[in-house]
Structure formats: structure tokens, C-alpha cells
Amino acid sequence: MSHTKAKILVHMVFATHERTPLIVGDFKPDLHACMAGAARELGTFVHALGGVDDHCHLVFDLPPKLALADFANQLKSNTSRWAGSKLGWQRGYGAFSVNHASLDRAIQYVLNQEGHHRKQTFRDELAEFLRVHGMDADTEFIDGVFTPDSAA
């Protein structure tokens, strides 16, 4: 792929299993370090990584040889394995394209998650992402609770 040029900027968000507030205290920086290392091993460049007690955000460059779903699955699997029984992730993830001109704004958004969530719930944040990107909401994604009906 020596003649391939691609700049694929992605803002990804995913939550803990059933939105349980597990990413707290000293565990948070250790998890973020693990996540950054796992992302690096997958060949991505992470511009920003942040979140609060029940979810994580990343802004990264996705290399053209790596499928987004593979990145998400491997990142979540690696961090779950590292954390052992301390951490489980929700099914799926949200991934949204970032325009290069908006990269700095996306980075600041991710780095300011603590302040952001003093004003807006995670549920409202997800609904807003879907609205802005012209996507339909579904109960499992918005509420984080899997039911057999939401699998259809």
C-alpha cells in the first residue's frame, strides 16, 4: 500500500457494561494508559483519550489497513483482559468521522469530559451525537441496556 494515502479521523465512544461507574480513582489513569498502549500496538495514533466513570472517548487516526470494528473489538478485548473482572464493556460503540478542520475541537471535547458531564448526561450526549450525524437512535445504544428486542 505504498501508494495509499488516507487520513481517517475518528471520534469513538463506548461505555462500561450497563453503564456501571467503574472507571474511578487510580484505575482511570491506568486504564487510559493501557488503552493508549493497545491502540498504539494496533497502529493507530491517538490524539486524545478521556472519559468519565462510565464511558471512554478516543479521537484517533485509523490506518487504512485496519477495520474500525476490528480496532474497537481488539481495544475493548485487550483492556478487559488487562482489567480482569474489574471491567466489562457494553456491546458495540459509537464512531463518528472528524473533519481535519475540527480536530482541535474534538480533542478539547474529549479532554474536557469531566466538565462536559457536569452539564449534560451521557444519554443526552449520545443522542446529540446521533442527531448531529443524522443517525437513528436505538434503545440499547442510548440507554446501554441490551434486550433481545434491541438485537433485531
Task: Please give the single-letter amino acid code of residue 7.
Answer: K
Average pLDDT along the chain: 90
Give mean pLDDT in consecutive 10-residue pieces for the chain, a chain of 152 residues: 83 93 94 96 96 96 95 95 90 93 96 90 87 84 70 52
Q: How confident is the model at residue 148, as a pLDDT?
A: 67
CATH of domain 9-120: 3.30.70.1290
Question: In the chain, where are the structural domains located?
Answer: 9-120
State pLDDT tens for residues 20-41: 999 999 999 999 999 999 999 9
Q: How far apart are CA 21 and CA 118, in angstroms?
A: 15
Q: How confident is the model at residue 4, as a pLDDT?
A: 81
